[in-house]
Structure 1
């Protein structure tokens, strides 16, 4: 199983990737929109963790591309802000499966990735 982590903070992305590796899941990491799009076009993924607060590019543009090109690819959104706390992200992104705070416990994030990525299917 391969997962795409789109996160501007490389230390946080590495932390998440380490927890996924403990479950036998490989993770590709992108720091912004351009890199995420490149990876999406060249690799297959079971799930995407997408930070809404990217330093480079727009997370919603990445989500729109995913919805268009890979309509069944689940996206787990993370954020460090209260934006979309009302759940509106689920109306904006057909692929949204979860909305989490960036400081979510890595083990909880891993469990959600495994579930939505079809690890136990």
Structure 2
């Protein structure tokens, strides 16, 4: 990856988010972390990201709203959803949100998450 790769992490569980952020930063990725959907949308109003790594079940606000906003405002930004639930486990999320590229378990190893981010990061 590299310093040119920018990722928005949207996760309300601080311990999980901090682990992702630390791991991505150790690989040279520029990371911004927001814990709520409205703050994530504000971040998208201020800057562009290659990838949004977002928990489907945020404690404040809707993750789908963030992905939808990114789809209209930043068409080149890819979304990776993570979750600890079975919601959308049938893959229907890919039909609802065309910018969603992956749907992973919340406790996916950081190396695997980083590989997904690297794969879906592209020039914006």
TM-score normalised by length of structure 2: 0.92
Q: CA RMSD in A?
A: 1.1
The runs of at least 4 consecutive aligned structure 1 residues that moved more than 2 Å come to none
Partner Cα separation in structure 1 for residue 95 and residue 19 of structure 2: 29
Stretches of structure 2 that go unaligned for 5 or more consecutive residues are none
Q: Secondary structure at the match of 2:76?
A: coil
Partner Cα separation in structure 2 for residue 33 and residue 24 of structure 1: 25
1:66-120 deviation per Cα after TM superposition (whole angstroms, max 9, x unaligned)? 111112210000011001000001011110000001010011001100110138x
Partner Cα separation in structure 2 for residue 114 and residue 75 of structure 1: 12
Q: Which residue of the partner structure matches residue 86 of structure 2?
A: 82
TM-score normalised by length of structure 1: 0.94
Asked if 1:15 is matched to 2:22, the reply is: no
Q: Which residue of the partner structure matches residue 34 of structure 1?
A: 38
Q: Which of residues 113, 118, 124 is equivalent to 1:114?
A: 118
Partner Cα separation in structure 2 for residue 18 and residue 100 of structure 1: 19
Stretches of structure 1 that go unaligned for 5 or more consecutive residues are none
Partner Cα separation in structure 2 for residue 68 and residue 102 of structure 1: 26
The total of aligned residue pairs comes to: 119
